[in-house]
């Protein structure tokens, strides 16, 4: 029997936990503040940010969507981030990616100071994640680890193939898996004979941005499959996994939508609360 991993239910559970934490903070007159910066009007970003703002309101976080025009200068953007970095009333800052193609900012991941980097993208946070130290853990990998916990999936000694080596999912996910004593192989869309690797895996995590990349013949029976893909194909949302076919061979699988996507936002709320707790302690 295949278990569909229910991201929506876990999202609700995490948001409830977040709500309780905010109530506790508010008793100490602390209201977590999150600023979400968007440059341009990317349709995907619009809907992701709308969900972030909605979840923040639900748990009691004070959030603001700062939408800058596509034509904004890099200087203006850097000045805004600098002022938010310095503003003691702001606990968390998120710069929604992707930025417009023409923007070429060197060391983009280093703009937001590590203490306010609720995305967990700054090299200091990425390094701490790798070392297994206290850090802001990137939201999607954090959500996936919560999913494993929720379904009592022990990662110790498991052969895990991570398809995707992005800075925002693949790399931090790999760090977390290594620290959970898994045996991790990192592949990408250019990997020669991807199936050779995925066929040996107990768990496959796909974050490659390639619709239906993982096919049924590429996995072994009873595999666990985590699909991070969010692709629009003919106007419909579709993951990186050929879901219907792969489902038949899986013991556990995440659907798209209703799987991993929702956990990213929920974990962002936890990170923002943690940022407020840490900064207000000082």
Catalytic residues: 52, 96, 119
Read off the tokens for 67.
Answer: 């939408």
> According to CB under 6 A, which one of 66, 97, 105, 278 is a site residue for ligand GUN?
97
Binding mask 100-139 for ligand GUN (x = CB under 6 A): -------------------x-------------------x
Q: Which is nearer to ligand GUN, 97 or 245 (CB)?
A: 97
Binding mask 235-254 for ligand GUN (x = CB under 6 A): --------------------
Compute the distance between CA of residue 69 and CA of residue 204 in angstroms, rounded to an integer. Answer: 39
- Residue 134 region by backbone torsions, left for phi larger than 0, else alpha for psi between -120 and 50, else beta: beta
> According to CB under 6 A, which one of 22, 80, 94, 213 is a site residue for ligand GUN?
94
Q: Which is nearer to ligand GUN, 159 or 167 (CB)?
A: 167
Q: Examine residue 168 and tell whether it contacts ligand GUN (CB under 6 A).
A: yes
Judged by CB under 6 A, the chain residues 210 through 229 that form the site for ligand GUN are: none
Tell me the closest approach of the beta carbon of residue 237 to ligand GUN, in angstroms: 14
Among the residue ranges 84-92, 95-103, 159-167, 208-216, the one whose residues contact ligand GUN (CB under 6 A): 95-103
> According to CB under 6 A, which one of 39, 61, 93, 95 is a site residue for ligand GUN?
95
Report strand pairing: 231-233 vs 236-238.
antiparallel
User: Is the CB of residue 36 less than 8 Å from the CB of residue 66?
Assistant: yes
User: Is the CB of residue 165 less than 8 Å from the CB of residue 184?
Assistant: no
Among the residue ranges 94-102, 105-113, 178-186, 201-209, the one whose residues contact ligand GUN (CB under 6 A): 94-102
User: Is the CB of residue 141 less than 8 Å from the CB of residue 185?
Assistant: no
Nearest of 188, 235, 233 to residue 208 by alpha carbon: 188
Tell me the closest approach of the beta carbon of residue 129 to ligand GUN, in angstroms: 14
Nearest of 162, 256, 266 to residue 206 by alpha carbon: 162
Task: Using CB atoms within 10 Å of the CB of residue 1, give its burial: 0 to 12 exposed, 13 to 18 middle, 19+ buried.
Answer: exposed
Q: Examine residue 206 and tell whether it contacts ligand GUN (CB under 6 A).
A: no
User: Is the CB of residue 269 less than 8 Å from the CB of residue 22?
Assistant: no
Q: Residues 6 or more apart from 166 whose CB is under 8 A from it?
A: 207
Q: Which is nearer to ligand GUN, 60 or 92 (CB)?
A: 92
Q: Examine residue 77 and tell whether it contacts ligand GUN (CB under 6 A).
A: no
Compute the distance between CA of residue 23 and CA of residue 15 in angstroms, rounded to an integer. Answer: 12
Binding residues for ligand GUN, rule: CB under 6 A, are 94-97, 119, 139-140, 168, 264
């Amino acid at each position: 029997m295949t278990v569909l991993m229910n991201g929506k239910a876990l999202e609700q559970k995490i948001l409830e936990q977040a709500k309780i934490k905010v109530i506790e903070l508010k008793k100490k007159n602390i209201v977590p503040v999150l600023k979400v910066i968007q440059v341009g009007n990317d349709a995907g970003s619009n809907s992701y940010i709308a969900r972030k703002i909605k979840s923040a309101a639900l748990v009691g976080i004070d959030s603001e969507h700062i939408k800058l025009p596509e034509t904004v200068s890099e200087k203006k953007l850097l000045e805004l981030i600098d002022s938010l970095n310095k503003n003691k009333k702001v606990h968390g800052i998120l710069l929604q990616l992707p930025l417009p193609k023409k923007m070429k900012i060197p060391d983009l991941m280093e703009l937001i100071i590590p203490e306010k980097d609720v995305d967990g993208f700054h090299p200091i946070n990425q390094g701490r994640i790798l070392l297994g130290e206290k850090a802001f853990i990137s939201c999607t990998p954090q959500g996936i680890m919560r999913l494993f916990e929720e379904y009592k999936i022990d990662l110790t000694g498991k052969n895990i193939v991570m398809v995707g080596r992005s800075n925002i999912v693949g790399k931090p996910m790999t760090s977390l898996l290594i620290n959970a004593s898994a045996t991790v192989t990192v592949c990408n869309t250019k990997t020669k004979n991807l199936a050779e690797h995925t066929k040996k895996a107990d768990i496959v995590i796909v974050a490659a941005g390639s619709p239906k990349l993982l096919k049924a013949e590429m996995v072994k029976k009873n595999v666990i499959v985590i699909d991070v893909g969010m692709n629009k194909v003919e106007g419909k949302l579709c993951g990186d996994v050929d879901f219907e076919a792969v489902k038949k061979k899986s013991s556990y699988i995440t659907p798209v939508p209703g799987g991993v996507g929702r956990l990213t936002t929920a974990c962002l709320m936890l990170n923002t609360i943690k940022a407020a707790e840490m900064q207000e302690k000082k």
